[in-house]
Amino acid sequence: MNFRQKNLLNLLNEFDEISKKYDIDYFIAAGTALGAIRHGGFLPWDDDMDIYLTRDNWNKLKEVIESGEIDIPEMRTFAYHENTKYYRNAIPRYINQETSALFKSQALAGKSLGQHLEFLILDPMPAGEDKEKEYIDLFRVYAELLSPFFTICRDLSIDEWNKHFELYNKYFEKANIVGDEEVLKELGDELQNYPTEECERYCMRWGDLIYTYPKEYIENHRFSTFEGKQIPVSQYVETMMRIAYGDDWMYVPEIKNQIDHPHLEDYTTSCLEYSKRYIPKVNREEVLKRYRHLKYTNLCSFAKTKRIEMLNAKINVNSKSKIISKSLEGKEEYLSDLLETKDYEAIVSEFDEYMGLQLRYDVKKYDIFVPISDRNLEILLTCLVEKGEYYKVDRYLNIRKKHDENLSDGLANVENLVKCCRELSIARYDKKDEKLVQSLIDKYDSRYPDLLDIHRAKLWIRELNAKSGEDYKDIDKSCDEILKMYPFDGEIMAIQAKAKAECGEETESIDLYNKAINNTRNGLIWRKVEEETGISRYKMEYDFIEEAEE
């Protein structure tokens, strides 16, 4: 935990006391919840904290804030649109004004520029698919109007964007007549007052980042350790992580993909010191007006910009895919032999250029299919599933299905493999349900006897129930057999390391633990190893980076 995170933890502790004093029900959300489950604390690169509050609980907190009765430490404040004129954000904040976290989009507000907790408000939404869609469409417009500083819904498809802009334009023109505040209040009243007792789902909203959760996910909590403190999380937090981050939520991204929020930080200077230097020199009304006009002008041409981006991506794919097709031409038999011998590294190497192009941001964004034979695609995707990376397969398969809904028998079989692995993952990681895991093993074992994820599931159950030295010896032997087929798998290595430790083979165990955490990025395995041995994969990684930078 770095100095930045110690400050944030203090804010969380303060808010926890506030919540108890004023009977505010909350639970940690997003990256903060992911850190609690996967790391037992902060994600090592995290620079803010996220809190979930239902609308009812936010209204309760807001009432106490606005009454002036709330008891908070000096140099702390709450910022939200209704109490801070130039705070144009759908997410309220609890702020430490002794520090500075300077975001361009918050510059006009000034007081909101310290380190902060963010409150992601959960609203009850109308039931039924059509009504949910209307609700989400309306919120996108609300968020777009609220923030004049950047385009919120920039990642919508072109068709979705055109519908979004049509609705946005209707309310923008109305705001030109009656004013932004009147329109934002009208939309807010419509979005924020659906009766809780009538809803089936809650909606967490920030622009285009919109997740909906069943009511029971929001209304049932448990406690999880966060930096040594017991903090509330959803009873279904693992499933919520899967919804928000995908099937690979338990895997730690490579350093280059660890995302933080671009801003300037100063932990020793008050944000009020910075803002008083420039705010008196700025006509905030005029700046806001100009931002608003500039954004509208950009949005008017945004669909055209997206079309140009899509055409450029298609041209790029058209030229590069010919080279890729030629490089794979006539290799089906060779690639099939590699798959048979489980030479996964060689297969991935053969498809390296294809994967890079198919997963390029603009190509993926517009669902552009990079031409490749179904047989070659089947070999690549089967390779990914067999090496324990089923969660990568949908990225390719979904684009292939949008190109042509009819799948070859081989690709249909890959879909079934993915279904098996996903069900096992949910049963193990989300539900932690031994009986469910065993029932899935019984269902799929005869069909896929050598599938790595089934071996992992079997060992998970055996480790869970191991009581004697003999049990651990048997696990050790089984791991030897599995690692002959999958010598690269860190998850199996970690189970074998535990077995060896229980059998008194301490030196071999420590060597294997180290090898395990260097052969997987599964953060739950990293956490398990750290709890069992004190060996931290995170520390190794960040120490290595610091040494390289010196």
In tens, the pLDDT along 377-415 reads 999 999 999 999 999 999 999 999 999 889 999 999 999
Average pLDDT over residues 109-133: 92
Q: What confidence score (pLDDT) does residue 476 get?
A: 97
Q: What confidence score (pLDDT) does residue 546 get?
A: 61
**Residue 50 contacts residue 33 (beta carbons within 8 Å):** yes
Q: What confidence score (pLDDT) does residue 104 get?
A: 85
Predicted confidence band of residue 549 (pLDDT cuts 50, 70, 90): low
**Residue 459 contacts residue 479 (beta carbons within 8 Å):** yes
Residue listed under structure tokens 């003999």 = 470
Long-range contacts of 140-144 (CB under 8 A, 24+ apart): 140/164, 140/167, 140/168, 140/207, 140/208, 140/210, 141/167, 141/168, 141/171, 141/187, 142/90, 142/184, 142/187, 142/188, 142/191, 143/90, 143/205, 143/206, 143/207, 144/168, 144/207, 144/299
- Is residue 548 scored above 60 in pLDDT? no
Q: Which one-letter amino acid corresponds to residue 301?
A: S
- Is residue 182 scored above 80 in pLDDT? yes
In tens, the pLDDT along 19-50 reads 999 999 999 999 999 999 999 999 888 888 99
Q: What is the CA radius of gyration of the chain?
A: 26
Nearest to 103 by CA among 83, 76, 75, 79: 79
What percentage of the chain exceeds 70 in pLDDT?
A: 97
**Residue 109 contacts residue 79 (beta carbons within 8 Å):** yes
Burial class (CB in 10 A: 0-12, 13-18, 19+), 129: exposed
Q: What confidence score (pLDDT) does residue 208 get?
A: 63
In tens, the pLDDT along 428-464 reads 999 999 999 999 999 999 999 999 999 999 999 999 9
**Residue 477 contacts residue 503 (beta carbons within 8 Å):** no
- What span, in angstroms and rounded, lies between the C-alpha atoms of 192 and 123? 6
DSSP assignment of 147-182 equals --SS-SSTTS-HHHHHHHHHHHHHHHHHHHHH-HHH
Q: What confidence score (pLDDT) does residue 262 get?
A: 65
Q: Which one-letter amino acid corresponds to residue 213?
A: Y
Task: Locate the domains of the chain by residue range.
Answer: 3-300, 304-406, 466-549
What percentage of the chain exceeds 90 in pLDDT?
A: 83
DSSP state of 216: H
- Is residue 156 scored above 80 in pLDDT? yes
In tens, the pLDDT along 62-104 reads 999 999 889 899 999 999 999 998 999 889 999 999 999 888 8
Average pLDDT over residues 187-194: 92
- Is residue 366 scored above 60 in pLDDT? yes
Phi-psi category of 83—alpha, beta or left, where left has phi over 0 and alpha has psi -120 to 50?
A: alpha
Q: What confidence score (pLDDT) does residue 541 get?
A: 80
In tens, the pLDDT along 252-309 reads 988 777 776 667 888 889 999 999 999 999 999 999 999 999 999 999 999 999 999 9
